[in-house]
Every structure is written in structure tokens, then in C-alpha cells.
Structure 1
Amino acid sequence: MCTKNILELLSGKYTFPEFEEELHKLLTDLGKNVCWIVLKELDEKIYKDKKERKNWVVLQKDCERTITTKFGDITYKRRYYENKETKEKAYLVDKAAGIQRYERIGIGLKAEVAELSTIMSYGNTVEEIKRNGAECVNISRQTVMNTIKGMDGIKPYEQIKEKRKAQVLYIEADEDHIHYQDGKNGIVKLVYVHEGKESLAEGKNRLKNAIYFTGVYEGKEKEELWKAVWEYITSTYEERYIKRIYISGDGAEWIKFGAEYIPDAIYVLDLYHLQKYVTMAFKDEKKLKRALWKAIYKGDLEKVNEIFNDRYNSYEREGEKEVVKRVLEYIENNWESYSRYKEEIVGCSAESHVSHVLSERLSRGPISWSKDGAHKMAQLRAVKASGLELREKIIKQRYEELRPVELPKEVIYKAKQRIKKLNERYGTITELPILLNKKTFTSMAIKSLLQQSII
């Protein structure tokens, strides 16, 4: 976009939508230039501040690198150092800016990619980023996939300063079935912890302080899942106040393992899954099912056994008899905890949570995953389901240990003096660092626009 175009824009040759598009391109170019200037000045600051870089000596200068940001590709030059004591080699400006080795896209764009990919396909994520005005951003479907696979250690909760005090905690668990790229099927496990139900307006309920944990944990990996759950509980709640922790699920081995892993946890009868099993065993026998549920709610195990025995004897096929037998065993194995704590049990809604947290992205439609891709995607969706802003969480995790960018005082002083002179010449302007640079295409265009605006 040249100065002539800007002047023509202001003289009635462009419509407002065209003006908006051209301005967006201009500001994108501006953002890229500003980032380039900051990296250049930061590299200079590190080089000149020998106390700050004690023991680091320059091995090579003007080492070029390109990183893709929300403004497009930024190519900058920096110095390569070696530590005289440790012999470590590094680009110190990259360390200061939080740009990791071999990283091709910036963390801001990575966060944007992760946020979008949790609700749409990798291909649609690329299209959406470009549709949002970042046509110059050079990313592909493969870039999105690699970005998701590179997301590590993002917890679905924030560390709180003062631990909560809760007497009863509820843990519900279920799983989603997905397709792998090799044609096999896989399982994504979901566990969530909450403090029970709380009432909302219009008679609706929601789980209180629900936090979600999920991923592809196969075989012995299930211990990692439950370890993460227990770490959350001990870091968030005062353990001495907790009287009971209930775990409910469909009776799968990995869920029962959780009841053994979590100290003093009580595995309870999951009425939601039990209802599914009862339907399998009793089919359309509504009268028998009503009688069965009445006996369960009353705590009459003798009557429950009687109803199941009658149903077992009424079937002729072994497969039908086996279903009845398994459902009765499930009830009997969990009867003691149910009858003792049924007044405190709030019921299990795991299947609807599986649908909302996992299935909407991982298993609906003709989609297949790698194990790592499904694992990371599930965890990203768990972060969002837990009420956190995923984009902010990703950026914060990267920059928690970084110091703010600080340029030398003399650079800031000179910049302010130049801005002051520009203000005196053109009137009040936005303090844009790009205007302090030598005559570039962008700076000339903006200055022309400013000058024209005060004619």
C-alpha cells in the first residue's frame, strides 16, 4: 500500500470496506516491523550489557532466523554465544524472548492455533486463521497437527493461594471410543472432580468447581491419570477437612483402579450406567423395571435378588441369562457402599460430559487420530471444560519464568524525543515505534496519512 493509495482513500476513491481491508494490511505490516525492531534492539542490549551476560562470549553474529507470528513471517538476525564455564551454546535473544530451539511459529500464534483446533479440524483451523485477516501467515494442516502434539504439561486448573475446605468430593469417570489412523480403535479416558451440584436460575443445576482430566492412558499409564487427579485434590483442598471421596463409573477396571489409588476413596453404584444395564437385562418389561428400581431405592437387596432370579429363569438363551447375571453382580458388588451413602450420592452424569468434552471433537464424524494427537487434543479440551481460557493458559505457561522485555534507557529516551518531534510536526499521534525507524514503506505511508488528516 503506497502513499498515493492512502491519499486517494481519503479523497473519496475507496469505499469504507475497502479502506478497512487496506488498513488491516497496513497494520499487519506494522506489527511485523515492530516485532522485528524489538528483537533487534533486545539483541543489542544483551550484547552491550556484559554484566547481564556474564561468562557468555560471542561465537558468531548476524545468524538469521525466521519465525511465523500472527503478523506473518519475521526474519531477524542475532548473535550466537557460548558460556565459558558450562560450554553451553545459545542464542541469548531467543532465550530472552521465549523462542525455543527449532520452534517455527511464535507462542501467540501457537495459542491461537490450539484454541481454534479444539473446535474444528486442522484444515479448517488454517482457513479460519487466514480468514481472520492473517493471509500472510504461512502455516499448513501439518503445522497445526505438530503444534497440538507439542503441547505439554498444560494443567486444567490454576494453583490457588488458599486451599478450599470441602467435606465431600465426587469423582466421576467414563470413556470415549475413537478411531486410530491405523484402522484400530482406541479409548480416551475422562475423569472429573467436583463438590456436588449447585442450583442455578430457572431450575437448572451444574457441578460445583468441576475440573476435568483426560487423555489416552493405556495399560499401566492409567496410574499417571489418577496421579494427576490426586495431585489436584491435595493442592486444592485441605485434606484434613475431607471426610469422603466418592468415585462412580461403569465398573471398568481402570475406574476401579482409581478407587484403590485415591486414599480412602469409596466406589459407589453408578445409577446412570446401572439404568443402561437394567434396560439391557429387562428390555421392555416396564412393570418389572419399576419394581426393581423401587427395591433399589428402598435398599431391599432381597427383593432385588428375587426380581433378577425371576428374570434369569424366564430367559432360555445363555446370552440373555449372562446379561442378567452380570447386572446383578454389579449391584451386589457395590450394594454396601450404595445403601450406606445413598443420601450423599448425587448421581453420575459422566456420559453427557464425555459427549461435551470429548465426543464433539474426537469421535463424531469420519475422523481418525494418532495416539499422541488424540491425547493432546483431549487434554486441551479438558482445560476449556474446566473454565480456563486456553489461549491465555498456553501463553502464561511459556512466559511464567521470563522477564519482561526491557530495552536500554537511552533507547527509550531517544524514542520519546523523536515522538515528541513528530507530535510537534504532525499533531497528536499514536506512539507507534515503527515511526521512529528510518524511512520505510510503512512509516512513510503512516506519516502521509497523518499529515493528510490535519490538512
Structure 2
Amino acid sequence: MNLSIVPGAVAALEAALAELIESSPAGFAALEDAAKRIALASGAEALSRALERRDRELLASSRPAGSKVHSRRPRTLATTMGDVTFRRSLLLDAAGRTLCPLDEELGLPLGDRVSPAARGFLVTCGADVPFARTARLLEMAGGSAVSATTVMNSLRRAGEAVAETERSAARDLYRDGVPPEADSFAEEVLVEADGTYVRMRDGSAAEVKAVVAYAGKERGGGRARRVEPVRLGCVGEAPGAFWEQAVAQIGRRFDLARVERVHLGTDGEAQYVNGLASMRFPEATGHLDPFHVFRGVGRCAPPPHAEALVALLRSGGPGACADLIDDMIEDGTAREGSEAVAAYLRRHAAEIGGGPSMGTMEAEQQHMYKVRMASFPCAWSREGADAMARVRSWLYSGFELPGRTREGSRSRRRAARRDERLASFVASRPGTGLKSEGKGWEYPVSASLAGMGSDVRFRSS
């Protein structure tokens, strides 16, 4: 079926708009707005009727054996075309559990008042602009009116889902040896890592740990851009857990089994330099971000001596630059703290200079995290900051947000109550003794699941 144009719907809308033009022509802008409102309202009403029709079909054709109709209850969803209200049947199965065939077929989360498409809009838009503005944008686009709190909660849930996905991938990789499924490959991968700080509600600051990996750079339009970048940003993770998740995230983009060389660029901070230990590749090399090195060297002396130090570092290397700083210290022309800079240059001489072109992490931090988490007048909770960092890094890596499942939306209390009903129902039925060789008898563990929901039958198989 061609979903772009439905002839019957087009004919009906044409008649309605023609009547509107004849009765009150008010310019094209007003006509365009009216056409949009009529189309969206008609779509919402048509969807509501189609859902109720499907509910009746399910009740007639695939009603579980032993179940009975308990009631027909309304449900309203905030959608991208406005509120959609429909009535659907609730059943009671033989175990006394409540079933909703329509909700189960569509995979609608329990108790969710926002449709999956509208939720995706709120999360994607809320990752870029303030929550109140996001709610207004949904309404301007013809969707339902929601609150800023709804947007915040949507993004929080999405961030939690992304976090669980990333942690699960790290566990699979480092505990079970199962790498994630990659969508590309590269023999050489460049990795940059650093942290930036955002303000918390209590006035403190929290660090956003971030990493970006890419397969080199290419020039286009006069600018160099990274090839197939993949990102991870989070708040509150220990360095070891952060790096395990980072490597697993890299594996989503680049097949880990085909990576031969990795170059890690950092600013020299231990928690990021130590990431090399988590990168179990045939060849892994560390490099210091030249931005921080040049800035540190430039602070050792006033102009024009600072420029001379940086130029010598570029041409002669860290050893020659450290020797010149020592001479300036003896002459009294170096600033306080220059001894530490010279020692730093000698200690990290092997990591300064050489290697591929990197040094883009400062811009990455600014445009990926600071632009949303520090530019607006906002203060974060630790959970909210982690969710925002993960969602932004996930979306800008080109990944689809994890969908909220019906089973995952079930609260612990609700799940426990369902399991209690199931256990009581199974225990009340007599088991069947099974013959076997050797023991002669097995425990009565068989029971009938007829009349139960599809989720129970699936989980018990």
C-alpha cells in the first residue's frame, strides 16, 4: 500500500479545503495552517478508529483460551499529530492476570502517555535545545501539548537505556569475550579522550568523561573532518568502567578483530593515558594533545620568548625545548613553574610530536557537550548530566535510540505481582510424574500454560 497518498483521504481533504477557501479566503499562510490542522486532526481520528477496529479483530480471532473480557478502557497518547484516544479490551486469563491484546501487539509500554514517535522527537530535540522549548516545538509541529518535565523525563529514560546498552556491551566484551556487532571497519583507529566540567545543582562541578574514535581525517570544502566518528560521553563512571565501555562503543563502529593500530591522544591525565591498558590491540600508541603542550610551554615566558619556545618545540622536539627552558630559568627570564614544564617535556618526550594528526578533543568537548550542558543557564543532577551526555554522544554517533519495551516498562512491584499470580496458578495444578532410567521418577515439574499470555509462554519455553 502506498502510504504517501490515500486517494479517498485526499478527496475528502480536498472538499474540506475547497469549502474553506470559498467561505473565508484569508491568504495562503492561513490556508496552509488550516490544511495542516485538518490533516493532522483527521489523521488522529482515523488512527483512533483503526486502533479500535484492530482491537475488535484481535478479540474475535486470537483471544487466549480460558480468558474472559474484563472491561473496555480508554487510553490517550500524546503523539506527533495531537492526542489520540481509543478504547481497547482488557482480558482476564485463567491465572487472573490482566491482558491487553492490542497494547501487546503494538508493543506499547505500560502506563506510557506519550507515543514512541513523539517520545523520539522529544529526546532528539531535547538533546539540542532546552526542555521547555522542545515541548513548544512539538506543539508548533502539530503534536500534542506536553510539559517541560515530560521532555526531561523522556531524555532521562533514554539516557538510562543507552547507559544500560553500553554497560551491557562492555560486560559482553570483557567478561564473555563477545564483541559488539560493528557497522564498519578500519585497520587504524584514532582515539581522543578528555574530560570537561559542568555545573551541578548544588554548585559543585561534575566531569563529563568523553572519548571519540575515528578512522583518520579527510579534507572537504577547505576543512578537515573526521571519518566515521563514534563517541561515548558519561558522568560518574570510574575510569576502568569508562574505558571498557569506550572500547565496546568503538566496536560498534569498527570491527575490533580487524583493528591493527590504535593511536590514543590525551592531555596527559592519568585516567585517560591509562586507557591504553584497556585497548588490547596488536599495536597501541599514546600521544599528548599538542594544544595542552603548546599552551603549557607558552606560559613559561612572556612574549616574544614564548613564541620562540613553541617554535623550538615544533622544530627541535621536547628535549631541545626543555633545555632552552632550563637556560631561561638560569637567566631569570622564565616564569614561575617552568621547572615543572621542562620536567614534563622530558618525561613525556616519546608521546610528544609524531604520529597522525589529532588534537581535536577541545573542539569536540565544546561542540558536543558544552554547547548544550553549559551554554544554557541550567544546573544538572548527576543522573541528568549522565543521561544528557550519553544521549548526545549516541545520537551524534549515528545510532538509533533504544526503544522502550513493554516488558522493560513494567515496574518491579508490578512484575512481582504478576510472578506471584503465575506461581500460585502453576502450584495449584497437579504435576505429572515422569519416568526416567536410573532414578525411576522425576519431580512433578510439568504444568499447562494454556490460556496464559504470549509473554509467559515465550519465557517458559
Provide the TM-score with structure 2 as the length reference.
Answer: 0.72
Over 3 Å counting, the alpha-carbon distance change for 1:132 and 1:295 in structure 2 is closer
**Structure 1 residue 304 and structure 2 residue 318: aligned?**
no
Q: Which residue of 2 aligns with 1:213?
A: 232
Provide the C-alpha distance between the structure 1 equivalents of 2:17 and 2:30, rounded to a whole number of angstroms. 11
Q: Which residue of 1 aligns with 2:344?
A: 330
Q: Which residue of 2 aligns with 1:273?
A: 292
In structure 2, give the amino acid aligned to 1:327. V
Q: Which residue of 2 aligns with 1:13?
A: 24
C-alpha distance after superposition, 1:430-450 (max 9, x if no partner): xxxxxxxxxxxxxxxxxxxxx
Q: Which residue of 1 aligns with 2:428?
A: none
**Aligned partners of 1:56 and 1:81 also within 8 Å:** no
By relative contact order (CA 8 Å, sep 6+), the higher-ranking structure is 1
Q: Counterpart of 1:172 in 2: which secondary structure? A: strand
Q: Which residue of 1 aligns with 2:260?
A: 243
In structure 1, give the amino acid aligned to 2:22. S
In structure 2, give the amino acid aligned to 1:287. H
Provide the C-alpha distance between the structure 2 equivalents of 1:400 and 1:55, rounded to a whole number of angstroms. 22
Q: Which residue of 2 aligns with 1:376?
A: 387
Q: How many residues align?
A: 377
Q: Counterpart of 1:304 in 2: which secondary structure? A: helix
Query: Residues 163-178 of structure 1 correspond to what in structure 2 (within 5 A)?
Result: 163-166=184-187, 168-178=188-198
Over 3 Å counting, the alpha-carbon distance change for 1:3 and 1:193 in structure 2 is closer
Question: Post-superposition shift, 1:68?
Answer: 1.2
Over 3 Å counting, the alpha-carbon distance change for 1:300 and 1:61 in structure 2 is closer
C-alpha distance after superposition, 1:257-276 (max 9, x if no partner): 32222225332122111112
Question: Post-superposition shift, 1:125?
Answer: 1.3
Match of 1:62 among 58, 72, 88: 72
In structure 1, give the amino acid aligned to 2:54. L
**Structure 1 residue 94 and structure 2 residue 111: aligned?**
no
Q: Counterpart of 1:113 in 2: which secondary structure? A: helix
Question: Post-superposition shift, 1:200?
Answer: 1.7
Q: Which residue of 1 aligns with 2:56?
A: 44
Over 3 Å counting, the alpha-carbon distance change for 1:362 and 1:295 in structure 2 is closer
Question: Post-superposition shift, 1:7?
Answer: 6.6
Match of 2:83 among 68, 73, 77: 73
In structure 1, give the amino acid aligned to 2:305. K
Match of 2:244 among 221, 227, 245: 227
Provide the TM-score with structure 1 as the length reference.
Answer: 0.73
In structure 2, give the amino acid aligned to 1:183. G
Provide the C-alpha distance between the structure 2 equivalents of 1:71 and 1:78, rounded to a whole number of angstroms. 20
Q: Which residue of 2 aligns with 1:194?
A: 214
**Aligned partners of 1:269 and 1:331 also within 8 Å:** no
**Aligned partners of 1:58 and 1:79 also within 8 Å:** no
Aligned-residue CA RMSD (Å): 3.4
Over 3 Å counting, the alpha-carbon distance change for 1:145 and 1:305 in structure 2 is same
Question: Post-superposition shift, 1:162?
Answer: 6.6
C-alpha distance after superposition, 1:53-73 (max 9, x if no partner): 656734622133222112222
Unaligned runs of 5+ residues in structure 2 are 1-12, 170-179, 408-461
